[in-house]
Amino acid sequence: MEEPSEDKLFVAEKSKSNRAKCKKCKEVLNQGALRIAKVVANPFGDGKMMAWHHPQCLVTVFSKQRASTAKITCVDDIGGWDGLSMEHQNEILMTFPDIPKEKLKTHDDEEPGKKDTPNKKKPKAKPVPSSPPTQDYYFKDFRKLCLSLSQENSHLQKTAIFKEFIDKILSKEHSNETRAESMFLWCKMLLPNSEKRIYNLQSKQLIKLYSQLFKQNVNLMLEDLEKGDVAETIRIFFEKSNNVDVKPASKSTLTLAKVNSFLDKLSIETTEVAQTALFKSIAKLCTGNDLKMIIRLVMHDLRINCGPKFILGALHSDAYEAYQTSHDLKSVVQNACSCDSSKIASNGKMNIKLSLLTPILPMLAEPCKNLDDFFKKCPNGIYSEIKYDGERVQLHKSETQFKFFSRSLKPVLGHKVDLFKQYIPKAFQHGKEIILDCEVLMYDHKTNKPLPFGTLGIHKKSKFEDANPCLFVFDCMYYNGVSLLDRTIVERRKILMQNMTPIKGHIMFSEVKELHNTKELKLMVEHVLKQGLEGLVLKDLTGVYEPGKRHWQKIKKDYLFDGSMADSADLVVLGAWFGTGNKGGMMSIFLMGCYNEAKKKWCTVTKVHGGHDDKTLERLQGELKMIKISKDPEKVPEWLKCTKTMIPDFVAEDPKKMPVWEISGAEFSQAEVHTANGISIRFPRVTKIRNDKDWKTATSLTELQNLYEASKETNNLSIFSNLSPEKNTSSDNDLQSSPEKRNKIKRTLETAVTESSPLKMNTEIPVKRAKLSDERRRRLPDLFTGIRVVVPDSISKNTFLRYFIAYGGTPLNSSNELAPTHVIVQKKEHNRSSEKPMKEEKKEKKKSLNATAVCAQWFWDSIRKGTQLPTENYQ
């Protein structure tokens, strides 16, 4: 087995014999021909080996590999270049035309006159002024600090612990400059997400890498990883290492600077060989706990539950606010540690400004659940803005340079935003330096409407030939050298309107309306939900842009009336996954599904991990009868129809014996990864464990399909019926508005079940606040459990079905084998002469021989009263 002669990622040479074969085409590499090797890790032992290729085969390999994987970019990447003949060098240059020729330097090009002579004196280099040395800090002190922070629950106390710690250790520094440098190093390490070093290493990749370093069984390490802590798994197997060259150190001698340097190098390396070499070099200096903490730094999770607000709060009272604005940790720390009064504003706040091409934390919105009190906070009025169901994007433009950042401040994928670079200069003809807050969606040019969430994916975009990404701009934070953060939303919007020329379907304004009272707001909410849009964002007219703060408000359907308008279904637990972090090693994420009666298969609907408290989760570990399959496709039972991405760690022993849970969410949605006709629930959570139901009475696939279709019928939705132009009346005195009933839901629903005799009815559903317990209260009682009805076709059939199913009823198809318990008829219909043929009438009577005939009013009155009323008065 050959070892590479140089520390290069690629090696080129003349083939020495006819024994080696190309790793790509498997053909023999003829003696004397040019061959190029990729230097890879030796899978059979320590060290490296060379995987030889024909030059053209290596080009094919490069075209199919990831963008982050190393390629030949210049001749310096190739080991053995100087030993090649000119013929082979030219062959490489022709095969890889992207290699810069100006870097070309071979033994044939050397000029004797250029060589250094012993008598020739070299000019003396000018000394570079060096910064004062900082104090060396041991990595074990960092570990001890993290342990102290993790054991403290109070965030204020965490700040106090860090402040006491830095006052103690930084007292050794002799100048403000070294103090700031050391403080930046500590903050950088404690906040691994602030200085975002990207390693592209996931838990299973680390396990595979370290199993080779430690010479341990990778399957055993993966099994231990199921406990949810990759750092702890690596520590355990590090202490059992079978590799004599990689053993834990007896004493921790690592310094904080050494670890920081290692992380900087790791963020640059992209090949597995280079990453393995780095991990091996640092492991030799580590104890088990040292390596565990380094892995947590790589995973960007120290598990100390202490973010920038509480770390930076120990430096200066305004440090966190300055960091939110600038997102420049080094500048914030330097200003906080400086005693120069010129760097502190006259009002006592740190003078830190936003920086172009550096992302700032976006301003956020909190849920608005009470519309009546909203204008008490905003007496001057609000902007009501359409909440677009897309992806939040922060756009930075500096002359011809563009940068796009996501809500989490990561770079946005190019296929979503590259198109905008040609339109932004046209939309902002005079804007040289801009920072915009936007939402990017797919825009359909046929319907002139944005497409729903999830269509921006690179594979899904190809399905929409008449659509392209569109940027909806709703705020401007910086324009031509002037920060607009301290301007009101009215001023910012005015600047945006004056300087932006919209381009239909590419760069557009967000839709905004100015409101001044609750009635206007309720009508706007109703209008938006009727259109099937996600909701509204409300902004105070006098409000400024505050990065990172939730001072806007958002309204969505599932926020209204204490969540009673959320879409929900009663689903069966089909499987589970291991959790991570504190829930590692236990089932905490659950696969929910429904039964397909036609195909006798169970279908997946959603995976849910919210809604259970710790005690309930602990109890479920013993109650749920599961079989461990570890995401193995071959072990998926025949009764489960499941896509590859949804294969869980555990599946139910018998789905018909599993519990039924009520799952609520923002809306029913389409998700290709699920098999219930693609129906899923967005933002799911468990709202109740349905001990009163089993798999037979849980939501079936047919019922789920009806619920999905009914949820999309929003044209006749009237949430705030008392605000509609034509107010409905009722004979019941208890429907009159009163202070005690202002929080009740009021809807106007068209409840006709026959086209010839439409009936209109107000339905009022009192809402009670759900208590947090193991079994939460069901917001909609099961009034119609056991009642089966065949619903005749009408214009309001979907509305009727939605409420009937939500209150526990079972709709039947005409082909269903089960007999109905009730038949919907017009009032007093049995006293009127029938115009139907005798044969058809006899057929219907035979089918509903034991069914009770009622008019639709019985259902709506029962819902309004909250109990199942006697049917005598409705026949």
Of 514, 561, 511, 502, whose CA–CA distance to 531 is shortest? 511
Task: Give the dihedral sign, CA 676/681/685/688.
Answer: negative
Separation of alpha carbons 626 and 612, rounded Å: 18
Q: Which helix (H) or strand (E) holds 812?
A: strand 810-812
SS3 725: coil
What are the helix (H) ranges across 412-454? Answer: 414-417, 424-427
387 is catalytic: yes
SS3 835: coil
Task: Give ∠ CA 720-723-728 in degrees, rounded to 5.
Answer: 85
Residue 383 pairs in a beta bridge with: 514, 539
Separation of alpha carbons 792 and 802, rounded Å: 14
> Residue 433: how many CB atoms within 10 A of its CB?
16
CB 302 within 8 A of CB 319: no
Q: Which long-range contacts (CB under 8 A, 24 or more apart) does 197-203 make?
A: 197/263, 197/264, 197/266, 197/267, 198/267, 199/266, 199/267, 199/298, 200/68, 200/270, 201/275, 201/298, 203/230, 203/299
Separation of alpha carbons 162 and 323, rounded Å: 18
SS3 265: helix
Separation of alpha carbons 122 and 119, rounded Å: 9
Separation of alpha carbons 745 and 800, rounded Å: 17
Separation of alpha carbons 376 and 362, rounded Å: 25
Separation of alpha carbons 833 and 562, rounded Å: 48
SS3 764: strand
Catalytic residue among 140, 158, 387, 557: 387
Of 96, 633, 554, whose CA–CA distance to 369 is shortest? 554
783 phi and psi, to 5 degrees? Answer: -75, -30
Q: What is the 3-state secondary structure (H, E, C) of 481-494?
A: CEECCCCEHHHHHH
Separation of alpha carbons 437 and 361, rounded Å: 11
CB 214 within 8 A of CB 241: yes
Q: Which residues contact 385 (CB under 8 A, 6 or more apart)?
A: 474, 510, 511, 512, 513, 536, 537, 538, 539
Separation of alpha carbons 753 and 749, rounded Å: 12
Report DSSP state, residue 102.
Answer: G
Separation of alpha carbons 66 and 70, rounded Å: 9
Separation of alpha carbons 362 and 354, rounded Å: 12
Separation of alpha carbons 524 and 503, rounded Å: 26
Q: What is the 3-state secondary structure (H, E, C) of 57-78?
A: HHHHHHHHCCCCCCCCCCHHHE
Largest Cα–Cα distance in the chain? 125
Beta strands at 535-540 and 512-515: parallel, antiparallel or unpaired = unpaired
Beta strands at 382-387 and 535-540: parallel, antiparallel or unpaired = antiparallel
Q: Which two tokens stand for residue 578?
A: 């291991």
Where in the sequence numbering do the catalytic residues fall?
387
